Amino acid sequence: MTIIIILEDDDGFVIGADTGELFYNRLIQKIDSKVIFQNIIVCTEDNQNIGDNILWVGLTGHGRIAEFINHKFNPPKHQYDIDEWDYLYDYCKELKLQLDNYNLVIEKDNMSSTQSFLLILYQGKVFYIDDNFGITHNIEEYYCIGCAEELALGSLYTTKDGSFNSEIRVKKALECCNYHDCYINDNFTIFKVGKNGKIIKSIENQKV
């Protein structure tokens, strides 16, 4: 169980999540597992590499899926002449193929499911990927997925009057989720990233 938050501002985005605990049989165990991480995307033109892009992933669902995308997944190259939306279709197609090879996709009634949900931040745009690889381009100022997303959305709405900067708004939303939802812990990870996805500031694996 976790909460993922992405908040857009004039400088870029703030990404936040709780992390680092596993609930099993009424016990809480500390684990070393991330739910927000980067994929490095190779950009090509005429089959020549012209640079790398940063794609951020936030995942709620199976820890095995998160570990696979973080450590094993080999994302496709981004051809120069296609936009972010078209690239996300290639990304999901390749993700499904590689997850299939590790038996991490459930097939039922001609539908594929990972039982996991992703928020993708790529080239200044946020996309929601559902558990059967459906893609939605989000156009709100802030986005949340996870077991306490209603609490996070409510908190972000109440702080949109300009009284707090983006990092504090995300921190307060995470604290709200932790206070009211028993499955959200207070071991937060927060990243401030630019429009290009590069990290400007990070607060990782510590209470804030």
Query: Is the confidence at residue 21, as pLDDT, over 70?
Result: no
| The pLDDT of residue 206 is above 80 | no
pTM for the model stands at 0.91
What token pair was written down for 170?
């995300």
- Give yes or no for residue 84 having a pLDDT over 90: yes
pLDDT number for residue 182: 86
Q: What is the dihedral of CA 140, 145, 151, 152, to 10 degrees?
A: -50
Q: What is the mean pLDDT of residues 8-12?
A: 95
With beta carbons less than 8 A apart as the criterion, state whether 119 and 127 touch.
yes
Alpha-carbon separation of residue 65 from 81, 115, 117 (angstroms): 30, 9, 10
Architecture of domain 3-203: 4-Layer Sandwich (3.60)
- What is the mean pLDDT of the segment spanning 81-107? 94
Kindly report, residue by residue over 168-184, the tens digit of the pLDDT. 999 999 999 999 998 89
Q: What is the DSSP string of the chain?
A: --EEEEEE-SSEEEEEEE-SEEEETTEEEE----SEEEEEEEEEETTEEEEEEEEEEEEES-HHHHHHHHHT--PPPEETTS-HHHHHHHHHHHHHHHHHHTT--EEETTEEE-S-EEEEEETTEEEEE-TT--EEEE-SSEEEEETTHHHHHHHHHHTTTSSS-HHHHHHHHHHHHHHH-TT--S-EEEEEEETTS-EEEEE-SS--
pLDDT for 126-149, tens place per residue?
999 999 999 999 999 999 999 999
